[in-house]
Amino acid sequence: MISEQEACDRVLARFVDTRGAIASCRLDPRGEYWVIHANAYEYVVNGRSEHCLIGDGAYLVHIASGRLTITPSYETWHESIQDIYDLDDAAGAHYVLRPDYAAGDKRAIVHLHQRLGCSLIDARWLLEDANRSWLTGTGRTLRDARKALGAHGVATQVALQDDLQGALSLTPQTWAVDTLLERLRERAGLRLAVDDREGSAR
């Protein structure tokens, strides 16, 4: 087990060209990581902003293993640690966004046809058992996507599965719901490629 002092020492050891100082150290909500904020000594202790180092966000030290993860400055440590939690919880499986409609649900098929702007055939294909894996990405990204699509009337769920089964990648970035709908239209568009492949195999 890594103590608070040991975790802080590991972070300070990263400061080579300038002296570092710890601004704060706390346990994360699960009690699995030390969350440490550190910067140049002159900035932390003496408040000299010209010495502030930029680029790194927080330092996360895993209490059990001592593993050190540096979060990017463009994310909060809460976001970064949630991604770590999700990876640990997945245990090698993939997060996948799937429809929350039954296969063959006629009302859902018409609804998807209208919302996505795809054909009825494509909408029906998206709900078939073999094609229900729509998008993949980090758990946090897919939960955000699920919320955005839900507000647009498309019901989905986030699941863990071993095989991606054709799911398209969704990167963690700021996107409008139009981007998500376009990505789902791309997923529906794979129907023709699958049909062609199956046809040539016969």
Average pLDDT over residues 95-116: 95
Collect all residues with Cβ–Cβ distance below 8 Å to 160 and sequence separation of at least 6: 89, 90, 93, 94, 95, 96
pLDDT value, residue 18 = 92
Which of these ranges, 36-40, 53-57, 135-139, 198-202, has the smallest mean pLDDT?
198-202
In contact, 32 and 62? CB cutoff 8 Å: yes
Tell me the chain's radius of gyration from C-alpha atoms. 23
Tokens of 191: 């129907």
Average pLDDT over residues 145-156: 93
Per-residue pLDDT tens over the stretch 48-61: 999 998 888 899 99
Give the SS3 label for residue 76. coil
Q: What is the mean pLDDT of the chain?
A: 91
Helix (H), strand (E) at residue 58: strand 56-62
Which residues on neighbouring strands pair with residue 24, listed in sequence order? 37
Residue the block writes with tokens 């599965």: 161
Collect all residues with Cβ–Cβ distance below 8 Å to 113 and sequence separation of at least 6: 119, 120, 122, 123
Collect all residues with Cβ–Cβ distance below 8 Å to 92 and sequence separation of at least 6: 162
Per-residue pLDDT tens over the stretch 130-146: 999 999 999 999 999 99
Which residues on neighbouring strands pair with residue 96, listed in sequence order? 136, 159
Which of these ranges, 37-51, 81-95, 132-146, 184-198, has the smallest mean pLDDT?
184-198
Q: Assign 3-state DSSP to the chain and report helix, strand, coil percentages, each to 5.
A: 45, 20, 35
